[in-house]
Structure 1
Amino acid sequence: MNELLKRVLSGLILSVLVISGILYLPVFAVKLAIAFIAVLCVYEVFKLVDKKLLGIYSNEVLVVGFLSAISILFFSFYLSVMIITLYSFYRAVKKYDLNYLSYSIFGFFYGVFFPSSLGLLVDIDKNLLFVLFGVVWTGDTLAYFFGKNFGKNKLAPVLSPKKTWEGAVGSFVGSVVGGFLTIKFFNFELYWMIPVLISAVLLQVGDLFESFIKRQVNVKDSSNLIPGHGGVLDRIDSLIFASVVFFIFYELLKSFSIASW
């Protein structure tokens, strides 16, 4: 099977599984699935960082990652912070090296907090995930089209040599259009275009953020868990940045009592 066909097939299968899960599983089950996704992200982040700081990865981080994600999604954000801080301190003391403290906290911060925001959105409204998909998937599609056909000016040649400013413009346009259409389809208030517009920029930062980590350890993909696509983070690096933007926006709405749920 050639690489393109493998990529298309695995992408279709994943899309069907994700959409079906959101539509038909209860909220509890969707959040539990997201906790497992967070564990996979923790696995990939620590495996990457282990190339810089040998021994930072151990099977313990998977357990801590799962407990931290469950804490955020079902109990308390601060419980998650406490679990991560105590474990990171334990590893740092064991190695007697401050790097293990900072690297561990970063690994959980990126691997747990960002993916878990997807589950927090499920508590608000499952359909917000479809708005996110509209923003990210349409943005990715137009980024590829614009970049391939018009791309000439490099966006960040050190971090991601193939990305161009033309592709970035295409991504922004696609994200805004995709976000607007899904907002209208699911009858969300038009003020949800605010996080759509912000996400249209920051999802590209999310992509570059992961690229920076990979370039630091000289690898192409975060793992080989998804045939033809690389790792989980390779597929959701943009999505989880956009998800955090949407959750922050909702929290601000609550603070100013604009939204009623």
Structure 2
Amino acid sequence: MSIKSKWDDLGERFLSAALMVGIGIAGVWAGGIVFHALVALICGVMVWELVSMLDAKRDRSPYVLGLTAGIAMLIASEVPPAFALPLVVAPSMLGLGQMERGGVTYASFAVLILLAGFGLIVLRDRYGIEWLIWVILVVVTTDIAGYFCGRIIGGKLLWPRVSPKKTWAGAVGGWVAALLVGACFMAFTRADAAILGLSLSASMASQIGDIAESAIKRRAGVKDSSTLIPGHGGLFDRFDGMLGASVFVLIAGQLVGFPPGIPGVF
């Protein structure tokens, strides 16, 4: 493979990424209903992409289920957690009756998508912008380091049957990047050394989310979850890692306390 063919998508990817980052920063900074609405939109689009991949012959169900998921996520963000959780699960149950194929996969991933969205809202609303930025940085640096280490170093593939481009070099590069993010937060916040373990684990969880989405695409016979974002595919392609990391942090926080070493844990 020539150098040009290896890097010819970089400019398009960079411009699209810059736009996404700009929108993301604005939503994260604003917080409140603006951030809740952004998360709800992302969750709805991801569910639409999921249904489109799994059950492409259905004309209406992707839009109906995507809209249902987005509305459920928006309402869930504005009610107490005990009432939010049924709303997080409801789109999965409702979708089972709409799917002709891939119903179980849909139900499993749809609830994870909404649970991940709920986890991001909890981080922003309960713990502040810095800890939402932490998980975003872990996922983004894992992805960037994995991309460049995989392209430059190459080597043995992580799971060739499912993802023919992801390498062990890229995976390890992502872990190192996540540890550096954790070290920075340990240095500049009151978090203790446990943040290093959480950062590394969240990085691994984001890679698992990425690989899980790759498995869905391989099963569906598609390259990208959609064509919404030039150079990147769909929102599911960009937020699959965030899905894994957010769900992990939401669960792990119940076990080890979050933020680690700071009073006022989960």
Interval of TM-score (by shorter of Structure 1 and Structure 2): 0.7 to 0.9
Give 1:186 deviation, angstroms.
4.5
Q: Which residue of structure 2 lines up, in the alignment, with residue 108 of structure 1?
A: 110
Matches within 5 A, 1:1-261: 3-23=9-29, 25-51=30-56, 54=58, 57-75=61-79, 76-80=83-87, 83-84=90-91, 87-88=94-95, 90-91=97-98, 102-124=104-126, 125-252=128-255, 253=257, 259-260=263-264
Give 1:165 deviation, angstroms.
1.1
Alpha carbons 2:88, 2:115 under 8 Å: kept: no
In 2, Cα distance between equivalents of 1:244 and 1:172: 18
Deviations 1:83-124 (A, max 9, x none): 3365246547xxxx7x57535523522432223321121122
- Higher mean C-alpha deviation, range 224-233 or range 53-62: 53-62
Alpha carbons 2:162, 2:215 under 8 Å: kept: yes
Matching residue's letter, 2:23 = L
Matching residue's letter, 2:12 = K
Matching residue's letter, 2:51 = F
In 2, Cα distance between equivalents of 1:138 and 1:161: 21
Alpha carbons 1:31, 1:122 under 8 Å: kept: no
207 and 58 in structure 1: CA distance in 2 versus 1, 3 angstrom threshold: closer
In the comparison of the two structures, how many residue pairs are matched? 252
Alpha carbons 2:65, 2:95 under 8 Å: kept: no
Matching residue's letter, 2:16 = S
SS in 2 for 1:36: helix
Q: Identity across aligned pairs (percent)?
A: 27
In 1, Cα distance between equivalents of 2:155 and 2:89: 47
In 2, Cα distance between equivalents of 1:70 and 1:153: 42
Alpha carbons 1:38, 1:116 under 8 Å: kept: no
In 2, Cα distance between equivalents of 1:222 and 1:214: 7
Matching residue's letter, 1:223 = S
Give 1:150 deviation, angstroms.
2.0
Alpha carbons 2:93, 2:107 under 8 Å: kept: no
In 2, Cα distance between equivalents of 1:166 and 1:172: 10
Note the residue ranges of structure 2 that are not aligned, 5 or more in a row: 1-7
164 and 48 in structure 1: CA distance in 2 versus 1, 3 angstrom threshold: same
- Higher mean C-alpha deviation, range 205-214 or range 137-146: 137-146
The 4+ residue runs of structure 1 with deviation greater than 6 A are none
SS in 2 for 1:221: coil
In 2, Cα distance between equivalents of 1:88 and 1:21: 29
In 1, Cα distance between equivalents of 2:145 and 2:62: 39
Matching residue's letter, 1:226 = I
17 and 86 in structure 1: CA distance in 2 versus 1, 3 angstrom threshold: closer
Note the residue ranges of structure 1 that are not aligned, 5 or more in a row: none
TM-score (normalised: structure 1): 0.84
